[in-house]
Amino acid sequence: PEGTLSSPGIANRTGYCGYRFAPETEMYLARNRWLSPPFGRWIERDPLGYVDGMNLYEFLRCQIFKRQDAAGTETIEVEFNAFIPGRLGVWLPEPFLVGQWMLSGSVFQFRTDARDFGGGSSRLKTVATIDSRDIGDPAACCARRGGLHAVSTSVGASHRLSLKPSNDPMAMLRSMTVKSQTAIPTTRSDTRTDGHCWTKICAAAEAAYPFEPMSPSIDYSICWTFTVAERDRVTVTLEGEHNQFPNYEGLVHSPLHYQQYMFDTAGTGPGFWNLSLWHSFAGLGISFEAETSPCCP
């Protein structure tokens, strides 16, 4: 096969680097091993295993994620977010104040996230990270690895469109002004474990529409559970509750991206009823390979 040869400065050893094209993923996979010409054998064992004999190098074990994380030590990132779907439109009328035109002389609209499921801008988003080797480790809950179990919540900027009517009652709304403002969220989080092969990260967050202080908040309360059921394999489960508006989704990045949970609101806009009612849920369990503690399972 094609490749390049190099000498390591050690007698009777030859370094080999080549490439193999995998049609199922349309990627070229690199191969690196040491060959002993006198013995005619590879003298460095392949940590990922063999197939069809001892001289066939199995680089990715036919698993795409190893192309990005061959050692399986990538930090696991999970995400839960709330977004206003684009199917409702780009701009929607503010529903919170009746007669606001009489008070201000303007008609106000708010901007949606103009997207579907799969990530993008959000009204409210919580992200948690954990090192797969820390799952089930009580010390990791105290940030032993520099806070890799960290939880953070962010709020997307809100945009308000002000439409000023013309003095001519037959004319269309003509004056438009767009303002941007970001709400300050209220958050709390907690990380715990039983000390044996599972870790749970819980978070709660809420934020209101910043242009109207009396508007109801978007809020949710969620828990991720990371479990090592077998060596070097992690399962992530998600459960919690959230409002009936807007859309909500749970994502797992490991480093491939998994859609763990989707909630498509029946509401056509925010209101006191759908931002006050709660919906309980349980997302899909997502399993994937990652390096875990030698103490688990």
Look at the block and give the residue holding tokens 């709304």.
173
Q: 230 and 192 in one domain? A: yes
Among the listed residues 148, 178, 170, 175, the one whose alpha carbon sits nearest the alpha carbon of residue 290? 148
* pLDDT confidence of residue 145: 43
pLDDT score of 133: 85
Instruction: Classify residue 197: in a domain, yes or no.
Output: yes
What pLDDT is attached to residue 258?
86
Is pTM beyond 0.75? Reply is no
Same domain, 258 and 150: yes
Q: Would 242 be classed as within a structural domain? A: yes
pLDDT at 201: 95
Residue 163 is predicted with a pLDDT of 79
Is the model's pLDDT at 269 over the cut of 50?
Answer: yes
* CB-neighbour burial class of residue 11 (10 A; exposed 0-12, middle 13-18, buried 19+): exposed
Q: Are residues 131 and 233 in the same domain?
A: yes
Instruction: Say whether both 197 and 52 belong to one domain.
Output: no
Q: How many domains, in total, are found in the chain? A: 2
Decide if 27 is inside a domain: yes
Alpha helices in 49-165 (DSSP H): 65-68, 100-104
- At 290, the pLDDT band (50, 70, 90 cuts) reads confident
Q: What is the pLDDT of residues 32-61, one digit of tens each?
A: 556 555 555 555 554 444 433 333 334 434
Residue 40's domain spans which residues?
A: 3-62
Least confident of 1-10, 17-26, 96-105, 221-230: 1-10
Q: What is residue 155's predicted lDDT score, i.e. its pLDDT?
A: 96
Using alpha carbons, select from 260, 280, 264 the residue that is nearest to residue 116.
264
Q: Do 127 and 236 have their domain in common?
A: yes
What pLDDT is attached to residue 126? 97
pLDDT for the residue numbered 128: 94
- The pLDDT of residue 30 is 58
Higher pLDDT, 297 or 259: 259
Whether 221 and 281 map to the same domain: the answer is yes
Average of per-residue pLDDT across 268-296: 88
Residue 214 lies in a domain: yes
Q: Is pLDDT larger for residue 115 or for residue 173?
A: 115
pLDDT-derived band at 22, boundaries 50, 70, 90: low
Q: Has residue 111 been placed in a domain? A: no
Residue 253 confidence (pLDDT): 86
Q: Is residue 106 part of a domain?
A: no
What's residue 102's pLDDT? 47
Query: What is the arithmetic mean of pLDDT over 194-211?
Result: 91
Strand partners, 228: 234
Lowest mean per-residue pLDDT among 50-59, 110-119, 271-280? 50-59
The answer as to whether 99 is a domain residue is no
Q: What pLDDT score does 59 carry? A: 42
Strand, helix or coil at 103? helix
